[in-house]
Amino acid sequence: MINPPPTPAGVPALAARSLPAAVWRAVRSGWWTSVCALLIVVIVLLAAGAGLFVLLEGQSLAPDITTLGPTGLPAGSLGGVSGAHWFGVEPLTGVDLFALVVHGARTSLLVGLGATVLGTALGVVIGVSAGYLGGWWDRLVIWTADVILGFPYLIFMIALGAVLPVDFPRQVTLIVVLGLFGWPRVARIVRAQTLTLSQRDFVAAAKVVGGGPWHVFTKELLPNLWAPIIVVASLAIPSMIGSEAALSFLGVGVLPPTPSWGRTISTAIDFFETDPMYLVFPGLLLFLITLAFNVVGDAIRDMLDPRSGGAA
């Protein structure tokens, strides 16, 4: 009888063979985790169908000064919240705030998920190659990762935003820059797991029978690395979303007229004393999506970590 190849240290064999089932068990591990997972689904659906939901509300992103009072603030109470404007309206322009928030969710999630995918892909390739090949390449990767982790990327983005043309696609820029600054954390974790796996018998056997580096990576290493990759990616998503919001808040992220949670929050700060509801809805959704991804990510990590008792 041939025994299956062992899984990395800290990852149970069942979880490595059936990651979707492990993720599903993590989501159902507690009522709070289930609520957060449902919240992620709801916000993602809002972002994906932003145009449809705004159409159902009967509004758009077009300015409408008829919803404003004589001072330029929303007419009515609670920032103009009504049956026609579910979240109220934006001061001075009268733009429907629900339309701004759901379209801003699309921008923030697109940047956050895109940057996470790019950073994770780079981190996996670089981390596996460093751990498997070793030598000067491993030392170069570690040195480069240390430099990038200590580099103030906010200052870099502010400087980059000052020199980029106004019509340059800022969402693509944010995805690329955040992804390039996000790979070192993934690479460190993957490299450590690869160093452990490289000493296992099934990797040595693959080399003996003539398996090249690409075969070892795709057939022997990668299947046993999915668990830590999923964990680190799930925890990186809220960080990327928060980074996009912070950069847009500082004015170097997404530029008008593209909606963004960070830019909406930045504008709402000026009206907080006179119209606090303008800040509540985009700030609340940013807080909820960040909280939800962190809770679900922690649950997945606990489920795949036998030391926590979650994988029992």
Query: What pTM, to 2 d.p., does this model score?
Result: 0.80
Q: What is the pLDDT of residues 175-234, one digit of tens each?
A: 998 899 989 999 999 998 888 877 777 777 766 666 667 777 767 777 778 878 888 888
Give me the mean pLDDT over the 40-61 stretch: 88
Give me the mean pLDDT over the 59-81 stretch: 82
* pLDDT at residue number 85: 80
The pLDDT confidence band at residue 15, using thresholds 50, 70 and 90, is: very low
- 169: alpha, beta or left, given left = phi > 0 and alpha = psi -120 to 50? beta
CA distance 134 to 132: 6
Residue pair 248/178 in contact (Cβ under 8 Å)? The answer is no
* pLDDT at residue number 305: 62
Give me the mean pLDDT over the 264-291 stretch: 86
The pLDDT confidence band at residue 9, using thresholds 50, 70 and 90, is: very low
3-class secondary structure, 68: strand
* pLDDT at residue number 164: 78
Percentage above 90 pLDDT, the chain: 15
Q: What is the pLDDT of residues 54-68, one digit of tens each?
A: 888 888 888 888 888
Helices 97-133 and 50-57 pack at an angle, to 10 degrees, of 170
By C-alpha distance, which of 130, 101, 35, 58 is closest to 278? 101
CA distance 62 to 158: 29
β-bridge partners, 96 = 89
* pLDDT at residue number 1: 34
Residue-wise DSSP of 103-117? HHHHHHHHHHHHHHH
Q: 249: Cβ–Cβ under 8 A, 6 or more apart, which residues?
A: 262, 263, 265, 266
